Each structure stands twice: as structure tokens, then as C-alpha cells.
Amino acid sequence: MKITLKVWRQGGKYKGEFVEYKLDNVKEEMSFLEMMDVLNESLVQKKEQPVAFEHDCREGICGTCSMVIDGQPHGPQKATTTCQLHMRSFKDGDTIYVEPFRAKAFPVIRDLVVDRSAFDRIIQSGGYISVNTGQAQDANAIPVEKDVASMAFDAAACIGCGACVAACPNASAMLFVSAKVSHLAMLPQGKVEAKKRAQAMVKTMDMEGFGRCSNVTACEAECPKEISVNNIARLNREYLGSVFASEKIV
């Protein structure tokens, strides 16, 4: 396959612009990241600066492969991370635009790499449990309804990639925050911090510069793990419940 890439370059001699590259040795079975590796190998051979991009597991579970491909976070294939997107999803002769996730809270470090440490600070503010669980217990030691456990598991599937933020016209992190709040709120172990978790995480989210949710639901459409916007409704309930709770939130 012959592919024309228009890649966002920022840093060094690049002030922030799309740079065009042509590849004529792309195979359909390559993943998108493998294709980017081919591009970088060619740039290194030409003594040029390779394109900086993030990756780790390349198995769709770590959430680091954050790219906007042809205007869509993680590319055109639904429920797929960039590393699991294959070149067979494109056609010979296609021109592909590749850029970083765009959000005030995700400043560009270089090229396609953005700083997503804001997510880490949101988690630190309330995405944990302090209860001492001791040694591993039997699976049925703490009774949890099957439906509740399934919903908690679905919310916990969030990999924190930030596609929801990149897809949202307001750059809201509500889907991410709601997933992290939901999977703890529905389990007994998460009840200890229940009265302050939602407030603390929402407050940190706002301080980090994320936008407001306006129910566009683009976040759900672009999420590689198909996290439901129902979690946002649950977050709102948890937040309001904590506001009206008698315990003072510190």
C-alpha cells in the first residue's frame, strides 16, 4: 500500500504544523503503530528527527497510544485503541491525518505526545479505598449482586487513555471520572470514601482545566472500551448525595 501521512510535528524545529510523509511499503497486516515505526525508521535513515509518539503494551490495555487519526481519537474503527488499529482499515493511496489529543488539560509535550498526568491527580484525589482488606478472601466472602458486580467491572474497564476528552467538544473528563467513581461506588469496599470521593475528584477535574459535560455523548462513541454515559448519571447522583450529606468534606 502507498500511504500519505500528514503528521502533526511540534517541538524542536517544528513550531506546530502538519508535515507530509509518503510511505510506499505499508502492508495491510501492520498495526497503525507498526506503520509509524516504519516511518520513523525511514526518518532515522535520512538523519531526520523521528516522530515522537507514546506506546507501551500494544495490546489495547494500557491506554498510552493516544492519537487522533483523521479527526477521530484512536482512529475510525469502533472500540479499538490505536495500537490495535490495522492498516487494512485504510485504502491504498489514502491520505491520513495524525495529530495529538487536543485539550487544555493535555498540553503537547512533543509531536503526538501529550501530558495526561492530570488524570493521575484526579485519581490521587479520590480514586482509592482506605479499608484494610487483609489477605485475599474467598470470592463469596462479601456478597455482591451479579448485576452490580458486572456494572462495576464494566466501569473498571476504563484504561484512562483520554479519548473521551479528545472527542468532547468541551474537553470534558466526565466519562473518565464517572467510570473511576462508579466502579468503587457500587462495591462495598468503596463505601468508606463514598461521601467525599465524588466531590474531591470533580473538584480536581475542574482545577485541571477540563470542560463541562454537555451530554453530546461523543465520549461514549469514541471510547475504546465502550464505557457507558450511564456512569455520568451515577457520578451526578454520587456528587449530589455527598453535597447533601451531613459529613463535612475536607
Torsion angle of alpha carbons 115, 116, 117, 122, nearest 10°?
150
Considering its fold, how many domains does the chain have in total? 2
Domain end, chosen from 73, 99, 125, is at: 99
* 229 and 125 within one domain: yes
* 126 and 85 within one domain: no
Helical segments of 26-127, H only:
32-45, 117-126
Residue 104 forms part of a structural domain: no
| Nine cell digits for residue 223 | 471510547
* 121 and 63 within one domain: no
Distance, in Å, from the CA atom of 201 to the CA atom of 22, rounded to the nearest integer, reads: 44
Residue 105 forms part of a structural domain: no
Residue that wins the pLDDT comparison between 6 and 242: 6
pLDDT at residue 1, as a whole number: 94
Can you give the pTM of this predicted structure? 0.92
For 198-241, write each residue's pLDDT tens digit.
999 999 999 999 999 999 999 999 999 999 999 999 999 999 99
For 121-157, write each residue's pLDDT tens digit.
999 999 988 877 677 777 677 788 999 999 999 999 9
Distance, in Å, from the CA atom of 234 to the CA atom of 227, rounded to the nearest integer, reads: 13
* 95 and 146 within one domain: no
Domain hosting residue 211, numbered range: 117-243
pLDDT at residue 56, as a whole number: 95
Contact call for residues 222 and 161 (beta carbons, < 8 A)? no
CATH number at residue 22: 3.10.20.30
What's phi and psi for 196, nearest 5 deg?
-120, -15
Residue 88 forms part of a structural domain: yes
* 148 and 89 within one domain: no
The DSSP call for residue 130 is -
Residue 107 forms part of a structural domain: no
For helices 174-185 and 194-207, angle between their N-to-C axes, nearest 10 degrees: 170
Q: pLDDT above 70 covers what percent of the chain?
A: 96
